[in-house]
Structures are given as C-alpha cells and as structure tokens.
Amino acid sequence: MGFEQHLAEDARLVILRGLNGEADGRLNEIGLTRLLDTFGHRRSREWVCTQINKLAELGAVTVTTAGTVTIATITRSGIDHVERRSIIVGVARPSPEA
C-alpha cells in the first residue's frame, strides 16, 4: 500500500468516527474538512468529497446534497466498522480503546 492510500484510509476512518460522534450521524463537507484538519489531514474540500463518495461506494455512508454542499450520514455498516464489529476494506481499522 502506498503512503497516499494509507492517508486516504486513515482520513476515511476519521470521517466515520466524526459522523458516529454526531447525535444525528451527519456532517457536511465543510465540517468534515475542519475535522480532518484537526487530525493532520489538511486537504481541499474536493479531496474530502472524494473520500465521502468512496465511503458511500463502500456502504459506510449515504450522501445527500444541499445546494452545492455534500452531506454524509453514517450507515449501520459504518457504525459497525467504527465499533470494531466488522471490517470495511478501504478504511483504516480502528485501534482498540484503552
């Protein structure tokens, strides 16, 4: 696995964890871009939307749009990955909680 792929998989995990932490399981691309910045993934909104769309392809999120803004909502499959009940190939595995 190349370094860029590793970063993308880690960013997808950060996105899923962020969505899982929201009361309604949703965040828009702007909020997710800020969240990723916090974890050292300083990327464009376009790159973040690419990761959101990849997560949708993997069944971890659903995607809706409001005007020009992309909104991601975590699915049961995404929650199960974050909670270590199942594995989604293409998303970094969460580490065990201490």
76, 86 contact by CB (below 8 A)? no
- Contact between 38 and 17 under an 8 Å Cβ cutoff? The reply is no
pLDDT averaged over every residue in the chain: 96
Q: Is the pLDDT of residue 98 over 60?
A: no
Is the pLDDT score of 8 beyond 90?
Answer: yes
| Domains of the chain, each with CATH number or no CATH | 3-82 (1.10.10.10)
Bridge partner residues of 26 (DSSP): 73
pTM for the model stands at: 0.95
Average pLDDT over residues 43-51: 97
Distance CA 12, CA 92 (A): 7
- Tokens representing 19 are 């969505």
Task: Determine whether 1 is exposed, middle or buried from the number of CB atoms within 10 Å of its CB (0-12, 13-18, 19+).
Answer: exposed
SS3 56: helix
Query: Is residue 97 scored above 90 in pLDDT?
Result: no
What span, in angstroms and rounded, lies between the C-alpha atoms of 45 and 65?
Answer: 14
Confidence of residue 24 (pLDDT cuts 50, 70, 90): very high
